[in-house]
Amino acid sequence: MHPDLSKHLHSEECNRLIERLNVCHEENKFRKFLGACNDIDRELNQCLKQEVNFDVGEVNRLNNKVSGKAKKGAQPIRHFSPLCILTCSDGSEYKIKAGIRGKLVEVNEELLTNPQLVNEKPDAEGFLAVVLPNLVESDNLKKLLLSESQYLNIRESGSGGGEM
Position 90 scores a pLDDT of 63
Position 128 scores a pLDDT of 92
Q: Is the pLDDT of residue 61 over 80?
A: yes
More confident residue, 21 or 119: 21
Highest-pLDDT range among 28-37, 39-48, 72-81 = 72-81
Position 41 scores a pLDDT of 82
Between CA 157 and CA 61 the distance in angstroms is 38
- What are phi and psi for residue 94, nearest 5 degrees? -135, 125
